[in-house]
Structure 1
Amino acid sequence: MPLTNPWLAGPAPDRELPRDRLEERILNLLSTQNMAVIATVNADGSPAATPVRYYSLGFEIFYTSWNASPKSRNLRRDPRVSAAVFAPLVGQASSRGAQLFGTARTIERDHPDADRYWEAFRWQSEYAERGRPLDQPPADPLTIIAPHRILYTEHWLRRDGFAPRQTWRPA
Structure 2
Amino acid sequence: MDMETLRVEGRALIDRNCFMTLGTANADGEPWASPVYYVADGYTTFYWISSPEATQVRNIAARPQVGIVVFNSQQAPGSDEAVYMSATACELTGDELDRGLQIYLDKAPFSRGPEVFRPSGRYRAYRATVTEHFMLCPQASSEPCPEHGRVSDHRMAVSL
Contact conserved, 2:75 with 2:81, CA < 8 A, in 1?
no
TM-score, length-scaled by structure 1 = 0.67
- CA distance change for structure 1 residues 60 and 26 in 2, over 3 Å: closer, same or farther? farther
Please report the RMSD computed on the Cα atoms of aligned residues, expressed in angstroms.
3.0
Q: Aligned residue for 1:168?
A: 158
| Structure 1 residue 97 corresponds to structure 2 residue 97 | no
Distance 1:87 1:154 in 2: 17
| Structure 1 residue 141 corresponds to structure 2 residue 124 | yes
Structure 2 counterpart of 1:112, which letter? Answer: D
Q: Aligned residue for 1:150?
A: 133
TM-superposed CA distance for 1:113, in Å, is 2.4
**SS at the partner of 1:91?**
coil
Alignment of 1:15-34 (within 5 A): 17-18=3-4, 21-34=5-18
Distance 2:19 2:60 in 1: 19
Larger Rg: 1
- CA distance change for structure 1 residues 124 and 25 in 2, over 3 Å: closer, same or farther? closer
Distance 2:59 2:78 in 1: 36
Aligned match of 2:47 in 40, 47, 62?
62
Q: Aligned residue for 1:39?
A: 23
Aligned match of 2:95 in 112, 117, 137?
112
Paired residue total: 141
Contact conserved, 1:85 with 1:97, CA < 8 A, in 2?
yes
TM-superposed CA distance for 1:91, in Å, is 2.0
- For structure 1, the 5+ residue unaligned runs are 1-14, 128-133
- CA distance change for structure 1 residues 147 and 51 in 2, over 3 Å: closer, same or farther? same
Q: Percent identity?
A: 19
- CA distance change for structure 1 residues 89 and 95 in 2, over 3 Å: closer, same or farther? farther
- CA distance change for structure 1 residues 120 and 27 in 2, over 3 Å: closer, same or farther? farther
- CA distance change for structure 1 residues 71 and 169 in 2, over 3 Å: closer, same or farther? same
- For structure 2, the 5+ residue unaligned runs are 118-122, 141-146
TM-score, length-scaled by structure 2 = 0.71
Distance 1:75 1:81 in 2: 8
Contact conserved, 2:39 with 2:108, CA < 8 A, in 1?
no
Of structures 1 and 2, the one scoring higher in RCO (CA 8 A, sep 6+) is 1
TM-superposed CA distance for 1:86, in Å, is 0.2
Distance 2:29 2:108 in 1: 37
